[in-house]
Amino acid sequence: MAYPKKNYFQYRSKPKGPRTNDRIRASEVQVIGSDGNNLGTLAIDEAISMAKNEGLDLIEISPNAKPPVCKIVDIGKYRYDMQKKANKSKKKQKIVSLKEIKLRPVTDVHDYAFKIKNAQKFLGKGDKVKFTVRFKGREMQHTDLGYKLMERIKNDIISLGKVEVRPKFEGRQIIMIIQPN
């Protein structure tokens, strides 16, 4: 038996956004008028007819309340305001990225100073910094040099950040993560 081919849009589980007008399932709702006044608990049919008389929509604001809270507003304006609010909160977010600085136990003084300067710049911008001291060959016998280097880094950067992940040995490298204050 062959089934008819379904359209892509028939697979959508549910419409996005709050329920409006005839999609509201409750028999009674708490209604807030277009001017912001509380109109009390009304039957759903009466609330929808009030909204239609004003040329607006009945939107379910708080579906989990007993009875659900609905507001009489224009659905287009409501969606626009919600989108603006979402964009505004998204702008205020600070995305923290992790910057990595790789060192060796035999890193020269000038190179060390340059890398510390970069780390201070990253911490000043609000990013986390991951310091990695990598060992090669026979350097593995002198891991204490790596821990001394990490201690020196910690002392040089203590004014701008605090240690999030203490220096730990993983394979052939020591890792430490510092987050901004």
- Residue-range domains of the chain with CATH: 8-84 (3.10.20.80), 98-180 (3.30.110.10)
| 1: pLDDT strictly greater than 60 | no
Which among 113, 154, 111 is positioned nearest to 131, based on CA atoms? 154
Mean per-residue pLDDT over the chain, rounded: 87
* Percent of the chain at pLDDT exceeding 70: 92
In one-letter notation, the amino acid at residue 11 is Y
Task: Report residue 92's pLDDT band, with 50, 70 and 90 as the boundaries.
Answer: confident
Cα-Cα end-to-end distance for the chain: 67
- d(CA 109, CA 147) in angstroms, rounded, equals 17
Which residue blocks in 55-125 are alpha helix, DSSP H?
Answer: 75-92, 109-125
Task: Compute the average pLDDT of residues 93-113.
Answer: 90
Q: Is the pLDDT of residue 8 over 70?
A: no
Q: Does position 4 have pLDDT exceeding 80, yes or no?
A: no
**In the predicted model, is pLDDT for residue 13 greater than 80?**
no
What per-residue confidence (pLDDT) applies to 40?
87
Average pLDDT rounded to a whole number, residues 162-170? 92
Q: Which own/partner pairs from 74-80 qualify as long-range (CB within 8 Å, at least 24 positions apart)?
A: 75/20, 78/18, 79/17
pLDDT at residue 45 tops 70: yes
Categorize the per-residue pLDDT at 129 as very low, low, confident or very high, splitting at 50, 70 and 90: very high
pLDDT band at 132; cut points 50, 70, 90: very high
pLDDT given for residue 34 in this prediction: 84
Query: Average pLDDT for residues 12-34, to the nearest whole number?
Result: 80
* C-alpha triplet 30, 82, 36: angle, nearest 5°: 35
pLDDT score, position 19: 83
Contact assessment for residue 29 and residue 67, using Cβ atoms and an 8 Å cutoff:
yes
